[in-house]
Amino acid sequence: MSKLVIVGTVAFDAIETPFGKTDKILGGAATYIGLSASHFDVDATLVSVVGGDFPETYLNLLSDKNLDTSGIEVVKDGKTFFWSGRYHNDMNSRDTLATELNTLADFNPVVPKNYTDADVVMLGNLHPLVQASVLDQMTVKPKLVILDTMNFWMDCALDDLLNVIKRIDVITINDEEARQLTGEYALVAAAKKIHKMGPKYVVIKKGEHGALLFNDDNVFFAPALPLEEVFDPTGAGDTFAGGFAGYLAQTNNISFENMKNAVIYGSTLASFCVEKFGTERMQHVSKNDVEKRLLQFKALTQFDIKLT
């Protein structure tokens, strides 16, 4: 079974949408990535940090999904990273109401010894130096390194970000971030520039407008499933990344054709994430749910034109 290292935040989130609001609930990039990757036959560990205030039930929730939590450092006298945000009516934009780094401020990720030879490394959104430090700990060069990042690091740690981007195989980034990183408006042109920065594969996430996968002149597109109601978009991008990484780790095949399938699995899992607040829906997605939704994705996108 392939090993997968997932690095990112494990956090408390408080979320407001037009449909309601939550108190502090389970959140964080690594949490969403892990819950999504747990749908695949992989041996996955989460590398993260939490405070003494982080409930054991949350840790159990993750280990019950066969996620190794030995890489989640618990700082007994520290507090868990907290993020709070409010979504606008269109659900495509949000205001950050609070960001309390807490234990995340001094986070030194430690990859558990038995995972330093992992096949796939998924670097969730974190300071690029923290992401680089995880790569430094790998004793065997991973078959695939995937990195997610955000505009914040382009603003305040661009050089560090460019340095870690050189070392990875796949970047996942949203459309506005791709434009910011490259100065190119057209996403085809932006992807070309990002290829030159290092990554052979570029995934540009467009939220409700789907996701594009680029590999030189090859392009693949997966729509988001059209939903009557998006309840809470929090974590959808991380859930996409978790499905993408989990599928590639399970199949142990990083051809472009197989990466197309990984994009479809990522989109499929993300379509569940937005149906309820936080990780609520992702905690209860069954194998049967996933297969049914994959059939919906096929019906949505597959056609049969015979060329003469």
DSSP 41-97: S-EEEEEEEEETTS-HHHHHHHHTTTEE-TTEEEETTS---EEEEEE-TTSS-EEEE
Side chain identity, residue 143: K
Using rule CB under 8 A, residue 195 touches a second copy: no
The residues assigned a catalytic role are: 238
* Site stretch for a second copy (CB under 8 A), options 8-16, 43-51, 80-88, 298-306: 298-306
Using rule CB under 8 A, residue 189 touches a second copy: yes
| Residue numbers 202-241 binding a second copy by CB under 8 A | 206, 209-210, 212, 218-221, 223, 226-230
Residue recorded with tokens 């408080």 = 14
156 versus 227: smaller Cβ distance to a second copy? 227
* Site stretch for a second copy (CB under 8 A), options 32-40, 117-125, 154-162, 297-305: 297-305
| Non-local CB neighbours of 235 within 8 Å, separated by 6+ positions | 27, 29, 31, 32, 273, 278, 279, 282
91 versus 126: smaller Cβ distance to a second copy? 91
Q: Shortest approach of a second copy to residue 56 CB, angstroms?
A: 35
Using rule CB under 8 A, residue 261 touches a second copy: yes
Length of the chain: 308
Q: Shortest approach of a second copy to residue 261 CB, angstroms?
A: 5
Q: How far apart are CA 213 and CA 267, in angstroms?
A: 12
| Residue numbers 70-89 binding a second copy by CB under 8 A | 89
Using rule CB under 8 A, residue 176 touches a second copy: no
159 versus 228: smaller Cβ distance to a second copy? 228
Identified binder of a second copy from the candidate list 76, 77, 136, 299, rule CB under 8 A: 299
Q: How far is CA 143 from CA 7, 109, 119, 146, 239, in A?
A: 16, 20, 5, 10, 21
Using rule CB under 8 A, residue 260 touches a second copy: yes
Collapsing DSSP to helix, strand or coil, 204 comes out as: strand
Q: How far apart are CA 243 and CA 145, in angstroms?
A: 14
Contacts to a second copy by CB under 8 A: 89-90, 185-189, 206, 209-210, 212, 218-221, 223, 226-230, 257, 260-261, 263-265, 291, 294-295, 298-305, 307-308
